[in-house]
């Protein structure tokens, strides 16, 4: 299968590689090496900058590993960037250069590459980054457009969807150099940023309806493709498994803090919703050059893209953050939680009367003229 991937992209490589090599050493810019963090967390970064462009270095190591999807022990042979599903979020500013070292250890079984939706040319870098087990490569591209953008593995043919739904996607966030703004150009700031990567998985079942397990990814390939082609996922989850962002793993914030939520789905559409909250400012298409929409109850993430939402928490408590296809949220696992601490505001919400038996108390309602005018 890795051989097939090489053949599909190999015809493009000579021309693209020669032109890329000519450019390789022409940039005399400062460099910054970033240590990516596993989602939902994001590496430290400036929200705006007055400095000039730089080369920002990242490293992605492909790790093929077994991934447990739920508390019942259902597992797949996942393919990951840096061992996490989704892969890490990489943050730069418009005009910076993103330089990524892609490493495919010799212990892996398949060829891999990266298609960066933020990049221009060469299949988003896919034609220049294809590496077999035991190889590595370095790609550099200029971040010319602001927003949040998917990256994913795309080694060719039916390997593309298989690798993507096996966990190989992540996000690049390209911030405007002056930072985020509202539609009137006023600055927007966030106190925390979280990356929620939504993934759909397709696990084959045996004749009794039980999820199957395989000795290797290759062993499960034919059965998995059969399930995938029916377009009905067995799991839809945030950050790699059911419950990855709930309970003790809930995302945290405090009343008064503004949180930026970056949400990606590399394969299917999604409908993020915050129960008890809103999207104060939402870049539904994920592109910061477009003015944000405001006060959204639910927003739409197109398959193969990422979006971003700012929300300032106004009440404490547990907030459910989910896809508002409630079947997928409740039955298949696409739910996260925010645990928010701080003082309660009765003006925003209060329980006027606790639950009690019907008819045991009649609450007096003041009679007003307006009640009887019509």
Mind listing the pLDDT tens digit for each residue in 53-100? 999 999 999 999 999 999 999 999 999 999 999 999 999 999 999 999
Given this model, what pLDDT does residue 325 score? 97
Given this model, what pLDDT does residue 372 score? 38
Do the Cβ atoms of 148 and 264 come closer than 8 Å? yes
3-state SS assignment for residue 18: helix
DSSP character at residue 158: T
**Any idea how long the chain is?**
374
Cα–Cα separations (whole angstroms), residue 343 to 50, 172, 324: 37, 35, 28
Q: Which residues contact 117 (CB under 8 A, 6 or more apart)?
A: 124, 149, 150, 151, 172, 304, 305
Given this model, what pLDDT does residue 359 score? 83
| pLDDT greater than 50 at residue 14 | no
- How many Å apart are CA 122 and CA 104, to the nearest integer? 20
Residues annotated catalytic, as ranges: 112, 115, 117, 152-153, 163, 168, 273, 297-298, 324
Cα–Cα separations (whole angstroms), residue 94 to 24, 221, 316: 20, 40, 35
Given this model, what pLDDT does residue 313 score? 98
Mind listing the pLDDT tens digit for each residue in 100-157? 999 999 999 999 999 999 999 999 999 999 999 999 999 999 999 999 999 999 999 9
Q: For the chain, where are the alpha helices, taking DSSP H only?
A: 2-10, 13-23, 159-165, 217-228, 326-327
Given this model, what pLDDT does residue 26 score? 77
| pLDDT greater than 70 at residue 233 | yes
| pLDDT greater than 90 at residue 362 | no
pLDDT band, residue 366 (cuts 50/70/90)? low
- How many Å apart are CA 229 and CA 234, to the nearest integer? 13
Q: For the stretch 117-135, what's the b/e string if a residue is b when 16 or more beta carbons lie within 10 angstroms of its beta carbon?
A: bbbeebbbbbbbbbbebee
Given this model, what pLDDT does residue 363 score? 63
| pLDDT greater than 80 at residue 2 | no
pLDDT band, residue 346 (cuts 50/70/90)? very high
pTM (two decimals): 0.90
Given this model, what pLDDT does residue 360 score? 79
Give all strands of the β-sheet with 279-283 in edge-to-edge order.
235-238, 192-201, 258-265, 305-312, 279-283, 293-296
| pLDDT greater than 90 at residue 7 | no
């Amino acid at each position: 299968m890795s051989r097939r991937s090489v053949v599909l992209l190999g015809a493009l490589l000579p021309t693209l590689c020669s032109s890329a090599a000519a450019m390789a050493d022409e940039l005399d810019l400062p460099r910054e090496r970033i240590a990516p963090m596993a989602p939902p967390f994001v590496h430290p970064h400036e929200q705006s900058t007055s400095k000039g462009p730089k080369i920002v270095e990242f490293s992605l190591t492909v790790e093929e590993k077994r991934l447990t999807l739920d508390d019942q022990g259902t597992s797949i042979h996942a393919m990951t960037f840096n061992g996490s599903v989704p892969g890490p979020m990489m943050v730069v500013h418009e005009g910076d250069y993103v330089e990524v070292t892609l490493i495919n250890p010799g212990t892996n079984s398949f060829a891999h590459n990266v298609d960066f939706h933020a990049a221009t040319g060469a299949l988003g870098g896919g034609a220049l980054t294809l590496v077999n087990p035991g190889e590595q490569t370095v790609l550099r591209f200029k971040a010319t457009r602001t927003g949040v953008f998917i990256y994913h593995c795309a080694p060719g043919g039916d390997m593309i969807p298989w690798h993507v739904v096996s966990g190989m996607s992540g996000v690049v966030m390209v911030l405007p150099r002056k930072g985020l703004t509202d539609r009137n150009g006023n600055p927007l700031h966030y106190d925390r940023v979280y990356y929620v990567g939504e993934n759909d998985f397709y696990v084959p079942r045996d004749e009794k309806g039980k999820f199957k397990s395989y000795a290797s990814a290759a062993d499960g390939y034919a059965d998995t493709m059969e399930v995938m082609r029916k377009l009905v996922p067995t799991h839809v989850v945030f950050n790699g498994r059911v419950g990855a962002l709930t309970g003790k793993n809930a995302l945290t914030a405090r009343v008064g803090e503004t949180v930026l939520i970056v949400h990606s789905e590399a394969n299917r559409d999604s409908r993020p919703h915050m129960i008890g909250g809103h999207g104060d400012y939402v870049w539904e298409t994920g592109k910061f050059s477009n003015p944000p929409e405001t006060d959204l109850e639910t927003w739409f993430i197109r398959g193969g893209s990422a979006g971003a939402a700012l929300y300032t928490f106004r009440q404490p408590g547990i907030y459910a953050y989910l896809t508002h296809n409630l079947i997928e949220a409740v039955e298949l696992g696409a739910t996260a939680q925010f645990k928010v601490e701080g003082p309660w505001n009765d003006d925003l919400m209060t329980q006027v009367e606790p639950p009690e038996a019907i008819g045991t108390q009649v609450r007096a309602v003041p009679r007003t003229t307006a009640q009887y005018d019509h």
